[in-house]
């Protein structure tokens, strides 16, 4: 296929040989034209556009349109797309009863996995994954309803009434109101927080073939419905090595703070470097970025803006994060292994400052990534070469043997 890429399918057809590659370190599972990452340069492009330009010149719904259609919208397309999404922000009232089946202290990701999967039980006209029209409407429904579902999961957990979507607000503004508004008083959306949240959504919208996206592709390859495939992505994202990292990062910062804060950073770093401790510096390191994560820089900028807006410049966790970053960037352990802050390092601090509870961070990530999952799913299904995903294995179990003659049911 290219100077440094071989098409192993030909080798397999000729010889029956296949590769062993746990963690897919050197296996491309698909061809994709959506997102490009240059890990050495620290570059991230959606459909060719640098993330820095999208984060400053476009909004999240423009980014959704771009990821789904390959081009940024013109004025008319922009208006039509915004209208289409806002038309679908409500969820079926029955979803409330489904939600009520959960314990109030259930983890929001457990709730969200269920709610997203359950959408397939409500929207029967968009469950045929092989029908492009069904996929189109499922895509709009998912993008439109994710903020409503995430906010419902939050409101349920804190025992407050759900807030219906308000469609004259922006995507991020509407989400803020559904999260923090109450029926008792008018909610005024802060432009700084709205912009910060919109940026979080843009930065998390897609990231090529990560674990959750690969999960969505694999799940969708069986022909299941789009809602089920996205629910599988939500479930995968939950893990602390992936979307759960910003939650884990904030928990780590709070832990160090409880033990003495900045004064304890040196001691903590020694633990991180001790391979037997099992402690990692959460929010650091990335499978692909081995120079820096461009999203982390943008997030740090947003972090400064949000903390200034809220008068939290002296926030102890922010100070702690800066100290950890400073030490890590000068420490041989991190330098040699090319470990830099990833997007999660600062996004947790921003979300916490906005008032989002730690347990909901991954839900926000899922909300933002939904469009990427759909774009990747559509790309796979439109590919004439697409097949059901079916990895091979290297069998290491016992050879054929007989059940002992005396063993009976
Ligand atoms: N803290 C301490 N050591 C680390 C860290 C870390 N955060 N990340 C990697 N290392 C070490 C490893 O122990 C390993 O050391 P070794 O060579 O001595 O064995 C070396 O750096 C290479 O690490 P790998 O685990 O091989 O790198 P990989 O690419 O497989 O893992 C991952 C990437 C999972 C992100 C890892 O860096 C990590 O666990 N980071 C913390 C969790 C995190 O922040 N995840 C968010 C990812 S971004 C996202 O999902 C949006």
Average pLDDT over residues 200-222: 97
- Concatenating the DSSP letter of every residue in 125-145 gives GG--TT-HHHHHHHHHHHHHH
CA–centroid distance, 112 to ligand 1, in Å, is: 27
Residues 6+ apart with CB under 8 A from 206: 34, 35, 46, 67, 213, 369, 371, 372, 375, 376
Nearest CA to ligand 1 atom 32: 286
**What mean pLDDT do residues 181-194 have?**
95
Find the 131 Cα to ligand 1 centroid distance in Å: 39
- Whether the per-residue pLDDT at 2 is higher than 80: the answer is no
With tokens 């508004």, the residue in question is: 181
Average pLDDT, the chain: 94
Q: How far is the CA of 390 from the centre of ligand 1 (A)?
A: 27
Taking the C-alpha atoms of residue 183 and residue 25, their distance in angstroms, rounded to an integer, is 50
Residues with CB under 6 A from ligand 1: 241-243, 245, 272, 280-287, 337, 339, 342-344
Residue with tokens 């963690």: 23
Cα of 132 from ligand 1 centre, angstroms: 38
Q: In the numeric block, which tokens belong to residue 353?
A: 């400052």
pLDDT value for 8: 87
Residue 49, strand partner residues: 46
Q: To test ligand 1's pocket by mutation, which of 285, 289, 339, 342 has the most ligand atoms within 8 angstroms of CB?
A: 285
d(CA 79, CA 84): 9
Nearest residue by C-alpha to atom 26 in ligand 1: 287
Compute, in angstroms, the gap from residue 256 CA to the centroid of ligand 1: 20
Determine the Cα–Cα distance for residues 365 and 200; give it in Å rounded to an integer: 8
From the CA of 243, give the closest atom in ligand 1.
50
- Write the ipTM: 0.94
3-state helix, strand, coil in the chain (%, to 5): 55, 5, 40
How many CB atoms are closer than 10 A to CB 151? 24
In whole angstroms, what is the distance from residue 31 CA to residue 399 CA?
A: 37
CA-wise closest residue to 257 among 297, 206, 315: 315
Q: What is the pLDDT of residue 315?
A: 87
pTM: 0.91
Reading the block at residue 241, the tokens are 């090595």
Averaged pLDDT for residues 156-167: 96
Query: Which residue's CA is the nearest one to ligand 1's atom 3?
Result: 280
Say what the pLDDT of residue 385 is. Answer: 87
Distance 42 CA to ligand 1 centre (A): 16
- Give residue-wise pLDDT tens across range 373-403: 999 999 999 999 899 999 999 999 999 999 9
Task: Characterize the bridge pairing of strands 35-38 and 49-50.
Answer: unpaired
Q: Is the pLDDT of residue 1 over 80?
A: no
pLDDT band at 150 (very low <50, low <70, confident <90, very high): very high
Q: How far is the CA of 210 from the centre of ligand 1 (A)?
A: 14
The number of beta carbons lying within 10 Å of the beta carbon of residue 143 is 25
Distance of CA 136 to the CA centre of its chain: 21
Under DSSP, is residue 111 helix (H, G, I), strand (E, B) or coil? helix
In angstroms, the first-to-last Cα distance of the chain is 54
Helices and strands, counts by H and E, the chain: 18, 3
Tokens of 369: 């990534």
Q: Whose CA is nearest to atom 29 of ligand 1?
A: 287
Q: Whose CA is nearest to atom 17 of ligand 1?
A: 337
> Is the pLDDT confidence value at 313 over 90?
no
| Nearest CA residue ID for atom 10, ligand 1 | 285
Q: Which atom of ligand 1 is nearest the CA belonging to 275?
A: 13
Question: Has 344 been annotated as catalytic?
Answer: yes
Dihedral pair phi/psi, residue 207, rounded to 5°: -160, 50
- Kindly report the protein residue whose alpha carbon is nearest to atom 40 of ligand 1: 285
Specify the pLDDT at position 10. 86
Q: What is the pLDDT of residues 12-53, one digit of tens each?
A: 899 998 999 999 989 999 999 999 999 999 999 999 999 999
Position in ligand 1 atom list of the atom nearest CA 288:
29
Residue 278, CA distances (Å) to 5, 151, 181, 205, 241 in order: 35, 34, 41, 31, 13
Count how many residues are written for the chain. Answer: 409
Kindly report the protein residue whose alpha carbon is nearest to atom 38 of ligand 1: 285
Cβ(226)–Cβ(142) under 8 Å? yes
Q: Which atom of ligand 1 is nearest to the CA of 342?
A: 48
Q: Is 105 a catalytic residue?
A: no
**257-274 in b/e burial notation, b at 16+ Cβ within 10 A?**
eeeeeeeebeebbeebee
pLDDT of 216-257, one tens digit each? 999 999 999 999 999 999 999 999 888 888 888 989 999 999
In our burial notation (b when 16+ CB lie closer than 10 A, e otherwise), range 49-65 reads bebeebbeebbbbbbbb
Q: Which of 134, 344, 383, 402 is catalytic?
A: 344
**What is the number of the ligand 1 atom nearest to the C-alpha of 211?**
50
**Which is the catalytic residue, given 21, 286, 293, 383?**
286
Q: 360 C-alpha vs ligand 1 centroid, how far in Å? A: 23
């Amino acid at each position: 296929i290219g100077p440094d890429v071989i098409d192993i399918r030909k080798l397999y057809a000729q010889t029956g040989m296949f590769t062993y590659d746990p963690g897919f370190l050197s296996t491309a599972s698909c061809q994709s034209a959506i997102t490009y990452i240059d890990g050495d340069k620290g570059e991230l492009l959606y459909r060719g556009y640098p993330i820095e330009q999208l984060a400053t010149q476009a909004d999240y719904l423009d980014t959704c349109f771009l990821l789904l259609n390959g081009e940024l919208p013109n004025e008319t397309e922009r208006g039509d797309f915004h209208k289409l999404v806002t038309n679908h922000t409500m969820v079926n009232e029955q979803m409330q009863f489904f939600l009520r089946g959960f314990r109030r202290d259930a983890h929001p990701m457990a709730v969200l996995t269920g709610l997203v999967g359950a959408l397939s039980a409500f929207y029967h006209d968009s469950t045929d994954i092989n029908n492009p029209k069904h996929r189109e409407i499922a895509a709009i429904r998912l993008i439109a309803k994710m903020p409503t579902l995430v906010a419902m999961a939050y409101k349920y957990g804190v025992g407050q009434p759900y807030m219906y979507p308000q469609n004259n607000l922006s995507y991020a503004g509407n989400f803020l109101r559904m999260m923090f508004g109450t029926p008792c008083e008018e909610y005024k959306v802060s432009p700084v927080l709205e912009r910060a949240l919109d940026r979080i959504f843009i930065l998390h919208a897609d990231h090529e073939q990560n674990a959750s996206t690969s999960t969505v592709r694999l799940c969708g390859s069986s022909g299941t419905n789009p809602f089920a495939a996205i629910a599988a992505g939500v479930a995968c994202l939950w893990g602390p090595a992936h979307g759960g990292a910003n939650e884990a990062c904030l928990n780590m910062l709070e832990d160090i703070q409880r033990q003495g804060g900045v004064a304890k950073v040196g001691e903590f770093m020694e633990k991180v470097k001790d391979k037997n401790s099992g402690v990692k510096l959460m929010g650091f390191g990335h499978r692909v970025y081995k120079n820096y994560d461009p999203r982390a820089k943008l997030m740090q900028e947003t972090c400064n803006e949000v903390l200034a807006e809220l008068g939290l410049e002296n926030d102890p966790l922010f100070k702690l994060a800066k100290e950890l970053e400073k030490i890590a960037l000068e420490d041989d352990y991190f330098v040699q292994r090319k470990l830099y802050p990833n997007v999660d390092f600062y996004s947790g601090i921003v979300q916490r400052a906005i008032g989002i509870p730690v347990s909901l961070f991954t839900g926000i990530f899922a909300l933002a990534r939904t469009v990427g999952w759909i774009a990747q799913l559509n790309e796979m299904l439109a590919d004439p070469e697409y097949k059901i995903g079916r990895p091979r294995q290297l069998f290491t179990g016992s050879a054929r043997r007989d059940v002992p003659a005396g063993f009976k049911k």
